[in-house]
Amino acid sequence: MSSASKAFNEAEAVYARGAKSELSSDFSAAFRLYLAAADAFLHLSRSESLNPVFRARCKANAAKALERAEKIKKASEQPGATFEVDAVPIDWFAQEQQQYILRKSSVINSIRYPIWTDAVPMAGPNVLYTDPDGQPSVPQYAIFSADGSSRFLSWNRPVNAAPTLPPLPSPTFSTPSVVSEPNVDLAPADIEQHLINDCSVCAVLAVCVQHAKTFNSKLLSSIYPGRQPGRYDIKVLINGTHRRVTIDDALPFDSNGNPIGISTGAKNILWPALIEKAYMKLMGGYDFPGSNSAIDLHALSGWIPEFIDLHSTSFEKERTWTRLMRGFHNGHCVLTVGTDSKTTRRIKGLRLLPSHNYAVIDVRETAAERWMTLLDSRVPGRSSPLMSEYESHALDMRWDDLCATFEGVYASWDPRLFHRELSFHGMWKPRNAEDMEQSCVRHLRLLYTYTPSSSQTGCDTYPVSDNEVWVLLVRHRPDAPRTGEYITATVDAEDEWMDAGVSLGRLPSLAGGRAKAEAKIKGIYTTSTHVLVRTKVRISQVPHSQCGSSTPSFLSPSPARRPATPGSPTSSSLSQSSVSSVSGALTVLACYDGPYDDVCFTVSVFCGSGLSIKWDESAGVGGIGVKGHSMKVEGVFTTKNSGGNHSHPTYMLNPQWHLRIFEQEAIRRSVSPAAGASSSRASGTAQSPSGSHGDKAAVIVTARGPRDVPLNLTIVWSTGERVVELAQREVVATSGAYGYGYARAFANLPLGNYTVILSTFEPQVHFGAFTLKVESSRKFEFEPIPQEGAGMYARVTRGRWDMQSAAGSPIHNRYHLNPVYEVDIPSTAQFGARLHLTSGPQSASLNLSLFPAVEPLSINCPLASSGPYSDALAGVDIPKRTLRAGKYWLVPSTWVAGIQAEFKLVVYCSDSGCAVRKRTSE
């Protein structure tokens, strides 16, 4: 019995068990069995190696099983139903599901592109092949000239070229590929771009030709002669796997007999034009919407694409130059550069074209300068007035000038640099999901074990260190013209924020545990189909194996770890030779924002030689959360509550909630697969009460907002009050660096009270609606914390200490010279006030005191005060209190005299008639 027949019989047996369960009224079991049978039949129906009649039978049986399951589900939803059915979770890591995603993504622009290993239909070996899909469409600008006259002639094969065309030799390609033809002798300048606007593809061909000449490589050895004359099969990496693009050898020419696509000039070598045609067919036609060379080369050769934004705030010019130069000269990478849409600059008399790709054919460094040689493949028409400008296609540019002129560098890296590659194929389903926020984000948990590699040659010459991890997210293309789709990827170490010696922003905390480090940002959304994230696993840490677990668990508290000290085993100066195996996990978030449903994607992971990696299949891909209680709230960031990150004094204005976890029996002490893919790192705090793991609640807090708003979630140990300023010792969980449109924090929290803070990156810049979801394994309350002065009238005054009024504290005996503000309260009312700096030294210690408006000012008997002088980033405040009707004096001061700075004074009062004015000297 064949394997297919055996699988068919097993599926029928599962269906029969489902029918038996249905007859015995065990509808829940019947529902699960029918779905399992349908899945088995569908898997068989997708196998193209089987007989079409057999596949049709499998498909019919699958439909029958799904029909029975659907009837049971509808019956369970009727009023008064005595049974329930649970949706069977999808095993995304199952081989059948992975293959389903790849098969689903086979259709691009209404043409099916089979997986490369699928069987090739047989045809007559002597029949001239004509592509049944037709020829790729040609854009209007290539068909008609500017005056409206036609210039596109026809498609011509090498064997029947028109007499007016230049002689085109019939290609006699050898197996296995065209590129390996021994008579092929191309130079990068031989690749010529004509009418078709596919400069990125031309740049790819040019850099590949240069790489072949220098390193005797075969980057484009992906074109194979078919089994019929005039047929060619091109192997491309698209939509998660290698696929077959089949074309005939007809090429487009204009009415003058000139090619409108890529040519090789007088050498008349055809394989570049054939590769261009295959790629244009894949992209929807010669009216190519545009791409970048790294993405094109990823499809044509599998090399890893990296976009380096030359104008990003995180761009490191010197380090990038060193990495690119070494990679280029060792043959590990090829490079192109691209201009933006507004480029008009002229370099050495040559006008750069907007939105244009240039091949980099040389990278060199002299004693005085660093240079790149660029090549432009575009060849203008002979009647073009710009012809003189293009007599020389090569252009030498200094690295500094290139960084200032071009938008970005497109680098493509040899995947053989990496020890191992691991892939996952998944799907976003935002429109059909009950929780769109969850369905637009997929969480993957990557387990790793690091052992120092003895085979690596060293970081000075090898571009990939042995603890390096690259993660590539690729959105599948179902239809090239689709717009409005954005993706992003983030990668985090689960233990990044668990080390007590690492404060917010990875910088030492200030005195008192305050966190004023520089906040970080990540996860920028892009319309590109490819996003690359480069990271390294930490090696200067205590191995998890020494902590009692080889892989970190989100269901148990993390072991306490002390800050690294010089000479200690966890010191950052730890050499690789003294590091034993370290195990851990990385969280990979693949995010989508767009109007479409069932959008497929692939995540590929490449790791250095010291790492072994695998997916944590038990963690799933997220989208469920903690099993227990949940609550969802909505809000809007406005000018009043967009307070920015913790380095701003306005951080306290961000939305905050009081989270209270009750003491009760846990509903289910387990976390769903979503928890396993958390992007947070938390281990509790020194203030947390001790207790066993059973006394804690598994809590996930998830926030989602506009894709252009960077978000962060922080959970703080508190009594439920509004947090004015973060202290490192009070933070129990955080979502880490700010992520565009998404933040997620996870922690096992002891019972008690907490404050949850959702913040934007910049104050008064990022606005928009957001949703926040809390999931907990124990019962909880979640209530918004009112803003400071809520329900009261605010009076805002801006002032400054100048040379005369910077009198300092009372110890300087000039306290009465500080600015004095008169507060007039018409009736008994609630009163409060806050003072903070708006310019000057941010570390100045402040005080705000309230006195009776009685001459002379008596500094020894204030009615209220902000307390001891404090250099808190958010300033100082007089807590809310009740004041009788009358006049009062508010005195802001610094501890040190002579500090000239500007400040902001906010007075809150429940009486609308309250007035605040600066008291003038008499």
Q: Which of 479-488, 526-535, 671-680 bottoms out in mean pLDDT, i.e. has the lowest?
A: 671-680
In order, the DSSP letters of 846-874 are EEEEEEES-SSP-TT--SEE--S-B--TT
What Cα–Cα distance (Å) separates residue 405 from each residue in 197, 331, 333, 364?
Answer: 21, 26, 22, 19
* Residues 710/738, Cβ–Cβ less than 8 Å: yes
State residue 901's pLDDT score. Answer: 92
Structure tokens at 386: 């710009």
Summarize pLDDT for 128-185 with one digit per residue, the tens: 899 999 999 998 888 877 666 777 778 998 854 333 333 333 333 333 334 334 335 7
Given a cut of 90, whether residue 892 has pLDDT beyond it is yes
Q: Is 387 strand, coil or helix?
A: helix
Residue 872's nearest CA partner among 512, 469, 427, 406 is 512
For 320, the enclosing helix (H) or strand (E) is: helix 317-329
**Confidence label for 502 from pLDDT (cuts 50, 70 and 90):** very low
Number of other CB atoms surrounding residue 752 within 10 Å: 18
CA distance 558 to 746: 13
State residue 291's pLDDT score. Answer: 83
* Residues 254/617, Cβ–Cβ less than 8 Å: no
Give the residue carrying structure tokens 């390193």: 215
- The C-alpha R_g of the chain, in whole angstroms, comes to 33
CA distance 878 to 830: 12
* Residues 519/738, Cβ–Cβ less than 8 Å: yes
* Residues 621/679, Cβ–Cβ less than 8 Å: no
Summarize pLDDT for 325-366 with one digit per residue, the tens: 999 999 999 999 999 988 878 777 678 888 999 999 999 998
Q: Which of the two residues, 912 and 170, has the higher pLDDT score?
A: 912
The DSSP 8-state label assigned to residue 690 in this structure reads: P
Classify residue 374 by burial, with Cβ atoms within 10 Å: 0-12, 13-18, 19+.
Answer: buried
**Domains assigned to the chain:** 3-88 (1.20.58.80), 140-181+190-413 (3.90.70.10), 419-507+523-554+576-619 (2.60.120.380), 629-784 (2.60.120.380), 793-918 (2.60.120.380)
**Does 132 sit behind a cis peptide bond, omega within 30 degrees of 0 on the bond before it?**
no
Summarize pLDDT for 454-493 with one digit per residue, the tens: 655 444 456 789 999 999 999 999 886 788 899 999 998 8
Given a cut of 60, whether residue 908 has pLDDT beyond it is yes
In order, the DSSP letters of 742-776 are EEEEEEEEESEEEEEEEEESSTTT--EEEEEEEEE
State residue 564's pLDDT score. Answer: 36
Summarize pLDDT for 646-660 with one digit per residue, the tens: 988 889 999 999 999
The predicted model gives 725-748 an average pLDDT of 87
Given a cut of 90, whether residue 918 has pLDDT beyond it is yes
State residue 363's pLDDT score. Answer: 97
Q: Which of 98-102, 376-380, 399-403, 818-822 bottoms out in mean pLDDT, i.e. has the lowest?
A: 376-380
Percent of the chain surpassing pLDDT 90:
49
| Alpha-helical runs (H) found in 105-143 | 140-143
Q: Which of the two residues, 619 and 588, has the higher pLDDT score?
A: 588
CA distance 25 to 30: 8
State residue 265's pLDDT score. Answer: 86
Strand 231-238: give its sheet, edge to edge.
223-225, 231-238, 241-248
pTM check: above 0.85? no
Structure tokens at 508: 């030492």
Residue 489's nearest CA partner among 508, 471, 468 is 471
Residue 278's nearest CA partner among 225, 230, 233 is 233
| Mean pLDDT, the chain, integer | 82
Summarize pLDDT for 204-250 with one digit per residue, the tens: 999 999 999 999 998 888 899 988 889 999 999 999 999 999 999 99
State residue 143's pLDDT score. Answer: 82
CA distance 94 to 234: 29
CA distance 244 to 120: 9
Number of other CB atoms surrounding residue 172 within 10 Å: 9
State residue 177's pLDDT score. Answer: 34
Strand 468-475: give its sheet, edge to edge.
420-428, 599-607, 468-475, 530-536
State residue 782's pLDDT score. Answer: 95
CA distance 749 to 694: 10
| Alpha-helical runs (H) found in 183-304 | 199-215, 271-282, 293-301
Structure tokens at 747: 């922690």
The DSSP 8-state label assigned to residue 141 in this structure reads: H
State residue 516's pLDDT score. Answer: 45
Summarize pLDDT for 23-81 with one digit per residue, the tens: 998 888 899 899 889 888 888 887 767 888 898 899 899 889 988 988 888 888 788 78
For 120, the enclosing helix (H) or strand (E) is: none
Structure tokens at 553: 């668990």
CA distance 869 to 818: 15
CB burial of 187-224 (b: ≥16 within 10 Å; e: otherwise) equals: ebbbbbbbbbbbbbbbbbbbbbbbbbeeeebebbbbbb
CA distance 488 to 490: 7
State residue 422's pLDDT score. Answer: 96
Q: Is 405 strand, coil or helix?
A: helix
Q: Which of the two residues, 439 and 389, has the higher pLDDT score?
A: 439
Q: Which of the two residues, 668 and 804, has the higher pLDDT score?
A: 804
* Residues 59/65, Cβ–Cβ less than 8 Å: no
Structure tokens at 907: 């007075």
State residue 518's pLDDT score. Answer: 55
The DSSP 8-state label assigned to residue 267 in this structure reads: G
The predicted model gives 125-129 an average pLDDT of 82
State residue 747's pLDDT score. Answer: 85
Which residues fall within 8 angstroms of residue 890, CB to CB, at 6 or more apart?
820, 821, 822, 823, 833, 848, 849, 850, 851, 905, 907, 916
Structure tokens at 643: 């307070």
- Strands 350-351 and 611-615 turn out to be unpaired
State residue 683's pLDDT score. Answer: 37
Q: Which of 5-14, 399-408, 537-546, 778-787 bottoms out in mean pLDDT, i.e. has the lowest?
A: 537-546
The DSSP 8-state label assigned to residue 787 in this structure reads: P
Percent of the chain surpassing pLDDT 70:
81
Q: What CA dihedral angle connects 34, 35, 40 and 45, to 10 degrees?
A: 100
- Residue 183: half-sphere exposure toward Cβ, Cα within 13 Å: 10
**Confidence label for 552 from pLDDT (cuts 50, 70 and 90):** very low
State residue 444's pLDDT score. Answer: 92
* Residues 226/232, Cβ–Cβ less than 8 Å: yes
Structure tokens at 259: 């090619």
Given a cut of 90, whether residue 403 has pLDDT beyond it is yes
Number of other CB atoms surrounding residue 756 within 10 Å: 25
Distance of CA 59 to the CA centre of its chain: 38
Which residues fall within 8 angstroms of residue 184, CB to CB, at 6 or more apart?
178, 269, 271
Given a cut of 80, whether residue 810 has pLDDT beyond it is yes
Which residues fall within 8 angstroms of residue 387, CB to CB, at 6 or more apart?
380, 381
Q: What are phi and psi of 543, to 5 degrees?
A: -60, 140
In order, the DSSP letters of 420-475 are EEEEEEEEE--TT-S-HHHHTEEEEEEEEEE---SS---TTT-SS-TTEEEEEEEE
CA distance 139 to 145: 11
CA distance 436 to 416: 38
Q: Which of the two residues, 695 and 591, has the higher pLDDT score?
A: 591
Which residues fall within 8 angstroms of residue 578, CB to CB, at 6 or more apart?
none
CA distance 97 to 380: 49
The DSSP 8-state label assigned to residue 646 in this structure reads: T
Which segments of 159-230 are extended strands (E)?
223-225
CA distance 305 to 411: 6
In one-letter notation, the amino acid at residue 260 is I
Given a cut of 50, whether residue 371 has pLDDT beyond it is yes
State residue 120's pLDDT score. Answer: 82
Summarize pLDDT for 869-885 with one digit per residue, the tens: 998 888 999 999 999 99
